[in-house]
Structure 1
Amino acid sequence: MSLPDIITIDTGFVRPHFDAAYLLVENGRGAFVDCGTNHSVPRMLAALDKAGLTPAQVDWLILTHVHLDHAGGAGELIAQLPNAKLVVHPRGARHMIDPSKLWAGASAVYGDEVMEKTYGRLKPIPAERVIEATDGYEVDLAGRTLRCLDTPGHARHHNTVHDVRNNVCFTGDVFGLSYRDFDTANGPFILPTTSPVQFDPEALHASIHRLLALNPAAMYLTHYGRVEDVERLAADLHTQIDAMVAIALAANSKHDRHAVLLDDLANFYAGRAAAHGWTKGREALGELIGMDIELNAQGLEVWLGR
């Protein structure tokens, strides 16, 4: 059960219950963790209003990392929050101050038209409103400590936010994906996410171990929501990271490597979902996580190339 001082916001990205941001409320002050895209900003402000806060009562927007489904709306949202500072990993700060390279890299793949429709044009954030959160940096939300932990593996510019009082973590993508569509009587189903550029399996293992050492009561995932049973989920992630690496190495010499990776990953996840008690089959699984399988295949290929 979620805590009353942590509000889950569906950002509306892709489909319902796919992409979350969070509003933390403490003594009449607020902090957002992640923010979705530019198109998500009205939802963020609506959540604020529903919580009885004004934009002027928000002190912080904390980003787990600068991938656009987490941070694409940061510039637009900060512009609506007159007193808030942006907190971001040092490797990501420059991309929030000047998002042109972030935009150029993504639009080279998807094209400007798709980028505009999917994310909206990225808005720069004044440098004086950006705080670079090195490992252990503590955000003070009206006396409540939110500690930023450097947790690479999915991306080198990734922080996890540890809500110290509640002993819960806002994990961005480092603790995997767990869509509520896959919940069964056995609880949540989880899988790792590689990202196409900076996947590092050893770093990802280490980050998960670091978070587990906190003995957290729950994890708040961007994709999607609060999950408990943290030790089991962490063990599942470790097992799958190793299996995905083995799948990638086995496919590496194939002339149609990408297609082989897609097929083998889909079979792997479908088998695990069935063992978890999910009965809808591989085709339905592909409809729900086909994009994630594609991104994982790309991430594994970039890792193979390194």
Structure 2
Amino acid sequence: MSDGIRTIDTAFQRDHFDACYLIVHAGRGAFIDCGTNHSLPRLLGALELEGLTPAQVDYVLVTHAHLDHAGGAGQLMRHLPKATLVAHPRAAPHLIDPTRLVAGATAVYGQEEIARSYGTVMPVPAERVQIAHGDEHVVDLAGRALLCLDTPGHARHHYCVWDAHSACWFTGDTFGLSYRELDTAQGPFILPTGSPVQFEPQAMKQSIARMLARGPQGMFLTHYDRVGRNLQQVGKLANDLYEQIDAMVEIGERCSGAQGRHACLVERLRALYLGRARLHGVTLEDARILELLGMDIELNAQGLACWLDRPAR
């Protein structure tokens, strides 16, 4: 544990795929994201490892309402008697009443997968929800300021959390994803993560630029763990993301009028990420790389399709 930050593997889907974080400061705790209902034993176990009781947790900050980040929030809050949940104004209603959230996820993944991966998504009582109003809402964790910055791109109900104490961001999905299996001597391999309905390429680039403006020394990703140990490394990762966002836009435009548009998007995204992985020095077989990135390629294809169909783009 460094800077009072513990990475917790939520065990969602596979090991080292989905993380949440526990920040401990002056005997008080805050979780950033919380995984699913199935993650609860790991979160409570992390408290025990740090010598904290559930009553010493003051906040649960959810970067956005997608179920791999916040699906377990309602169940977790039942175990944290003094905690307040902090949510983006657009996310809060879906955490208080998750009916539409679950319905949307079910439309993407299917009812059987929702039951298997998430369990029953529980509501968070409205009186225990603090809305992160404004662009720079600050949460005070025993004197340690956690700033919530509105960061659309992956979703319009997304904020990232700046921790000045560690000079690091907790980025949810705005700063992409990076799996440790794809690390090489060149460092982490990173790619953007879109989402059905609300992927917005330009907004994502603007959000990344706003995070860089604070000179971060590292980025704590949900998928997965910390990347970057200084501003130079973080800046390189940001440039990698910019290049790929632009490449994704080009792919979307090339496939926009194609018959079998979805298949076109998936095929070209596979080629994009395989090509960049090889340039990055990844030596895994193509099939293994595509296995690791398969879900993300599918979601990015769906995100691009939604962006292409949005009249205002």
Q: State if a TM-score over 0.5 links the two structures.
A: yes
Which secondary structure state, in structure 1, belongs to the residue aligned with residue 85 of structure 2? Answer: strand
RMSD across aligned positions (CA): 0.9
Q: Where does residue 73 of structure 1 map in the other structure? A: 72
In 1: Cα distance, 2:290 partner to 2:144 partner:
41
In 2: Cα distance, 1:108 partner to 1:148 partner:
30
Residue 240 (str. 1) matches residue 240 (str. 2): no
Which secondary structure state, in structure 2, belongs to the residue aligned with residue 264 of structure 1? Answer: helix
Q: Does the 8 Å CA contact 2:3/2:166 hold for their aligned counterparts?
A: no
Q: Where does residue 37 of structure 2 map in the other structure? A: 38
In 2: Cα distance, 1:295 partner to 1:92 partner:
20
Report the alpha carbon displacement of residue 112 of structure 1 after superposing the two structures with TM.
2.8
Q: Where does residue 159 of structure 1 map in the other structure? A: 159
In 2: Cα distance, 1:153 partner to 1:104 partner:
22
Q: Where does residue 139 of structure 1 map in the other structure? A: 139
Residue 173 (str. 1) matches residue 173 (str. 2): yes
Q: Does the 8 Å CA contact 1:38/1:120 hold for their aligned counterparts?
A: yes
Q: Does the 8 Å CA contact 2:8/2:46 hold for their aligned counterparts?
A: yes
Q: Does the 8 Å CA contact 2:176/2:221 hold for their aligned counterparts?
A: yes
Report the alpha carbon displacement of residue 194 of structure 1 after superposing the two structures with TM.
0.8
Q: Does the 8 Å CA contact 1:267/1:282 hold for their aligned counterparts?
A: no
Q: Where does residue 289 of structure 2 map in the other structure? A: 285
Which secondary structure state, in structure 1, belongs to the residue aligned with residue 78 of structure 2? Answer: helix
Q: Where does residue 114 of structure 2 map in the other structure? A: 115
Q: What is the letter of the counterpart of residue 292 of structure 1?
A: D
Q: What is the letter of the counterpart of residue 262 of structure 1?
A: V
Report the alpha carbon displacement of residue 111 of structure 1 after superposing the two structures with TM.
3.3
Q: Does the 8 Å CA contact 1:266/1:282 hold for their aligned counterparts?
A: no
In 1: Cα distance, 2:296 partner to 2:112 partner:
22
Within a 5 Å distance, the mapping from 1:151-230 to structure 2 comes to 151-228=151-228, 229-230=233-234
Q: Does the 8 Å CA contact 1:270/1:281 hold for their aligned counterparts?
A: no
Residue 83 (str. 1) matches residue 87 (str. 2): no
Q: Does the 8 Å CA contact 1:22/1:32 hold for their aligned counterparts?
A: yes
Q: Where does residue 309 of structure 2 map in the other structure? A: 305
Q: Does the 8 Å CA contact 1:138/1:147 hold for their aligned counterparts?
A: yes
| Selected match of 2:276 from 266, 272, 288 | 272
Report the alpha carbon displacement of residue 109 of structure 1 after superposing the two structures with TM.
3.5
> What CA deviation, in whole Å up to 9, does each residue of 1:5-39 have, x standing for no partner?
00000000011000000000001100000000000
TM-score, normalization by structure 2 = 0.96
In 1: Cα distance, 2:29 partner to 2:156 partner:
27
In 2: Cα distance, 1:73 partner to 1:9 partner:
14
Q: Where does residue 296 of structure 1 map in the other structure? A: 300
Q: Does the 8 Å CA contact 2:3/2:165 hold for their aligned counterparts?
A: no
Report the alpha carbon displacement of residue 117 of structure 1 after superposing the two structures with TM.
1.1
The runs of 5 or more residues in structure 2 that have no matched partner are none
In 2: Cα distance, 1:35 partner to 1:242 partner:
31
Which secondary structure state, in structure 2, belongs to the residue aligned with residue 21 of structure 1? Answer: strand
Q: Does the 8 Å CA contact 1:274/1:281 hold for their aligned counterparts?
A: no
Report the alpha carbon displacement of residue 107 of structure 1 after superposing the two structures with TM.
2.0
In 1: Cα distance, 2:3 partner to 2:210 partner:
26
Report the alpha carbon displacement of residue 253 of structure 1 after superposing the two structures with TM.
1.2
Q: What is the letter of the counterpart of residue 240 of structure 1?
A: Q
The runs of 5 or more residues in structure 1 that have no matched partner are none
> What CA deviation, in whole Å up to 9, does each residue of 1:26-60 have, x standing for no partner?
01100000000000011100011111100000000
TM-score, normalization by structure 1 = 0.98
In 1: Cα distance, 2:265 partner to 2:285 partner:
19
> What CA deviation, in whole Å up to 9, does each residue of 1:192-237 have, x standing for no partner?
0111110111100100000011110100000000010100000000
